Amino acid sequence: MRPALLRGWRRRCPRCGRGALLKGYLKVASSCAVCKLDYSHHRADDGPAYLTILLVGHLMAPLLHVVFVTWRPEPLILFTIFAVGCVGLSLYLLPRLKGAIVGFQWARAMGGFGQHG
């Protein structure tokens, strides 16, 4: 399971680790160009977005509290820094979590992955 999750996190095929899992930013490719694993069985749906919101919220909320209590910055400065931080972290995590979820589904033979490889 761990290799499939790590390969998915790197946006690579969960089976061979060489082919690209995503084409574009979030679109899952139809199959692996190297090992021909069919990706059409994935059902990532809203999972990556939910996990991204969960992680960003749990990382940024305590950090926001610490920064505010420690340095008391101006509200506009605080908002600007944390808005950019939240957007940047979300954009970084979203495709990686999508790849990890597809890797998890492949490793657990969920959906049609169990029938085809």
Tens digits of per-residue pLDDT, 13-57?
Answer: 999 999 999 999 999 999 999 999 999 989 999 999 999 999 999
Q: Which region, left, alpha or beta, applies to residue 98 given φ > 0 means left and ψ of -120 to 50 means alpha?
A: alpha
User: pLDDT tens digits, residue range 63-80?
Assistant: 999 999 999 999 999 999
pLDDT tier at 113, thresholds 50, 70, 90: confident
* pLDDT value of position 116: 52
What's the pLDDT score for residue 7?
A: 97
Three-state secondary structure string covering 60-86: HHHHHHHHHHHHCCCHHHHHHHHHHHH
- Secondary element (H or E) of residue 23: strand 22-23
* Per-residue model confidence (pLDDT) at position 117: 46
Residue 24 Rama label (left phi>0; alpha psi -120 to 50; beta): left
**Span of 50-59, 77-86, 106-115 with lowest mean pLDDT:** 106-115
- Residue 90 backbone phi and psi in degrees, to 5: -65, -45
Cα gap 105→24, rounded to integer Å: 21
**What per-residue confidence (pLDDT) applies to 41?**
87
